[in-house]
Amino acid sequence: MAPSKDFDNFRTLLRSSKHIIAVAGAGLSAASGIPTFRGTGGMWRKYDAFSLATPEGFAQSPSLVWQFYHYRRQAALAAQPNRAHLALSFFSLPAARNQIVPGSTFTLITQNVDGLSARSDQEPPILEMHGRLFDLLCTNRKCKHVEFNAESPICEGLAGTEMLIETKTTDPNIELEDLPRCSKCGALGRPGVVWFGETPHHLDTIDGLVAQADLCLVIGTSSKVYPAASYAEEVKRHGGKVAVFNVEHSHGDSKAHYLFPGPCEETLPKALG
Ligand code: BV8
Ligand code: ZN
């Protein structure tokens, strides 16, 4: 059966849903000016994702990988939450929720690392399963210090390199000692994100939420990265409903009961309003 595009019908479903989850991807932050990974002009297209977002890539060229994350930090710091973030944030407020379905729950599971959902006063817990751009992790196994660091630039060595990423000129090789260091032991720091091949955060909590969900919103994701891409299918498998919000066709469409094509900063406020 073809997915419904009927907002009224969807809003009726919302009023009878008890445990709602949203799985969000880079498309949620697109309207905030943060480039997506695979969409048109996605920055992964200019760079090989697997050479930048893996432990091996970082070990091989920490200077290049830090320039990439410095570029993303600067973009996130300059960005503001958009109407899609705000629609999710309002929908997450207990007062708003209880008006719709008393005792219902709503949890945001995001693949995004930009921190914009937290900055839009989204009700916790926000499950940032791929980590956070502004966490700095120590690479010294005996230390493992983690700190929140939103300084711009995070260190002098990276100052101004964000312009290089845009133009893809060859990047300067920044010496290890001039890259971000752990404030506790002085070892090399790494971005607090989950790279390919690393285990995402909050998996047990997410698995419990997915098992209980009767409605899964899939927002602005190409549904190509696992295990995030498997959640909608899981919800559908146990009888829950799936609603996809995307500007393009994505892997999630085939699982959808509802498909709202278009920018989520327009469709989400309409669907959740
Ligand atoms: C893991 C952080 C083991 C870094 C990222 C099967 C099972 C398990 C694992 C695998 C598996 N098959 C393959 C794997 C391995 C791998 C994987 O999935 N590879 C893929 C490429 C095949 N997965 C992993 O390695 C994961 N770890 O598996 O550990 C394990 C597993 C289970 C249990 C225990 C252990 C770790 C993956 C995490 C990688 N880190 N990010 C960083 O950000 O730099 S992934 C990266 O891609 C981002 O997080 C991003 O969010 C994510 C997915 O991309 P999207 O968000 O979907 O963005 P994209 O550009 O692709 O799409 C944007 C969409 O938005 C488009 O559809 C576009 O149309 C739409 N859009 C654009 N504008 C708008 C819009 N929609 C609406 N409105 C708009 N305005
Ligand atoms: Zn340390």
Q: Any binding-site annotation on 78?
A: no
How many Å separate Cα 244 from the centre of its chain? Answer: 16
Mean pLDDT by 10 residues, the chain (273 residues): 94 95 97 80 61 91 92 94 97 86 93 97 94 98 97 95 71 92 98 98 98 98 96 97 94 88 98 92
Beta-bridge partners for 113: none
Centre of ligand 1 from the C-alpha of residue 152, in Å? 26
Centre of ligand 2 from the C-alpha of residue 194, in Å? 18
Q: What is the pLDDT of residue 253?
A: 87
Residues acting as catalytic residues: 130
Beta-bridge partners for 137: 146, 190
Q: Any binding-site annotation on 214?
A: no
The conformation of residue 186, written as its DSSP 8-state character, comes to -
Residue 132 CB–ligand 1 contact under 6 Å: no
The pTM (predicted TM-score) of the whole model is 0.95
Q: What is the pLDDT of residue 158?
A: 95
Q: What is the pLDDT of residue 168?
A: 64
ipTM: 0.95
Give the ligand 1 atom nearest the CA of 221.
Answer: 57
Centre of ligand 2 from the C-alpha of residue 140, in Å? 6
Residue 22 phi, psi dihedral angles, 5° rounding: -125, 135
Continuous segment of H or E residues that includes residue 95: helix 94-100
